[in-house]
A and B are shown apart, each in its own frame.
Chain A
Amino acid sequence: MTRFDCKLTTSRLDELIDGTLEESEATTAIAHLETCAGCLAEYEAAQSLLSATRSLRTSIEPDHDLWPGIKARVEDRRVVPGDFNHRPAPATRRLWMAAAAAAILVISVSVAYMAGLERAQTQTASTAPVETNAILAAYGGPAMDLELARNQLRLNLEHRRDELSPETWSVVMENTAVIDDAIARIEHALADNPNDGRLNRQLAVAYRRQIDLLQRATGLPAEA
């Protein structure tokens, strides 16, 4: 067999495995496998992979029961109140942009401070009070709950993507990404020192900033 035959066989290997190769081509390919150890090894490896894949379980249970969260949302779909039926006044949008920028600034300062003084015991400026409301009151506990609230808001915001302008969407995504990075850095620091109260407060503040940002974005009137 020639090198061309090897290339032909390997390029059609998936179709041969799946049984979708035309009969004449399949016959040729199988004949080649009988004489080419390299291609036969490839074929057997592909068969083995397919067999292993088909033996995987289709049902996998999550680490914890997700029903309580689903039930809460089913029973009260309106996590964030807001009038989505009219366009925002320009001043409103500018105000929101400024608020979002302010949130980013605080987080950025917080993270920069933390990175530079990771072991310091002094109070940081980022522990200033954040706006509270119903959702924060409901999820004002541990970081896990804040993360859940944040994730719910992200999904709610995703539902409204088509209602927001690409520009607004871009701003929201960029800002949430910045806070995501802040959270990741804080969590990284916490991995080395999980009982550090200051870092835990920083994490809670970061989540709350992001929740505030997402809530503002979710509450924006429809633009599209």
Chain B
Amino acid sequence: MTEQPVDPSGLVSRAVGGDVDAFEDLYRSSSGRVFGLCLRMCGNRSTAEELTQEAFIRAWEKLPTFRGDSAFSTWMHRLTVNVVLGHQRSQGRRRTRESAAGEEWYGDGSTSARRSGVAMDLERAIAALPDRARTVFVLHDVEGYKHTEIAQVAEMAVGTSKAQLSRARQLLRKALTS
């Protein structure tokens, strides 16, 4: 996982002490990574922005529990996954309003998100996956989680994780060849 050159441990210490400027530096160093994760997991730019904000608010609140036994980016990544999964669980039936997500991946088209070719087709196809299949696919194939880790954070059986991954891959292959 690549981060911009900041000194996470020093910044975290300052942020724990209430230094908002230090926390802003932490935000700047990891916001793209966090937003990218939120966007791919929820498939919707506006929701991803909300969740990104929420993840950093949570991080601010939980900074005193950061023990430094992993990189800040790793800690932030796990926290973000929990925020997104919590959001998905809480949304439940409301998710149908967001399920036409493929078109919303583009946002307003003013940023580098508007890319061409296979990558953009793949991004749209991922965004259009069913929630659970998308969650497992992103965590496993994009973020490199193992099925046992997905099972733990997403509160599902390992077998379910494998089945959802298989389903996601099949749907993506079909979407990309149709």
Residue ranges of A at the interface with B (Cβ–Cβ < 8 Å): 13-14, 42, 45-46, 49-50, 52-63, 66-67, 69-71, 73-75, 77, 151, 154-155, 158, 161, 173, 177, 180, 184
Contacts and interface: CB of A to CB of B under 8 A. Distances in A.
B27 A49 contact: no
A13 B50 CA distance: 37
Nearest to A155: B54
Nearest to B111: A63
Nearest to A154: B50
Interface residues of B, number: 51
Interface of B is mostly: helix
A195 B111 CA distance: 26
B85 to A, nearest CB: 13
A180 B97 contact: yes
Given A60-B32, A70-B53, A71-B20, 15 more contacts: A53-B122, A56-B142, A59-B2, A59-B32, A59-B33, A60-B36, A62-B31, A62-B35, A62-B111, A67-B28, A67-B31, A70-B60, A77-B61, A155-B50, A158-B86
Interface stretch (B5-13, B127-135, B149-157, B165-173): B165-173
Contact of B142 (A42, A58, A63, A73): A58
A61 B111 contact: yes
B48 A46 contact: no
Given A49-B169, A56-B122, A59-B2, A70 B36 contact: no
Contacts of A180: 94, 97
A66 B53 contact: yes
30 contacts: A13-B166, A49-B122, A49-B173, A49-B176, A52-B118, A54-B142, A55-B119, A57-B119, A58-B1, A58-B142, A58-B143, A59-B32, A60-B39, A60-B113, A61-B35, A61-B112, A62-B45, A62-B52, A63-B108, A63-B110, A66-B53, A67-B28, A67-B31, A70-B27, A71-B20, A73-B57, A74-B56, A77-B61, A155-B57, A158-B86
Nearest to B119: A56
Query: Lowest 4 CB-CB distances: which A-B pairs, in order?
Result: A59-B32, A60-B36, A53-B141, A63-B107
A59 to B, nearest CB: 4
B50 A151 contact: yes
B61 to A, nearest CB: 8
A69 B32 CA distance: 16
Contacts of B61: 77
Nearest to B31: A66
A53 B90 contact: no
Given A70-B56, A155-B54, A62 B48 contact: yes
A63 B31 CA distance: 12
A71 B24 contact: yes
A74 to B, nearest CB: 5
Nearest to B97: A180
Contacts of A73: 53, 57
Contacts of B166: 13-14
B65 interface: no
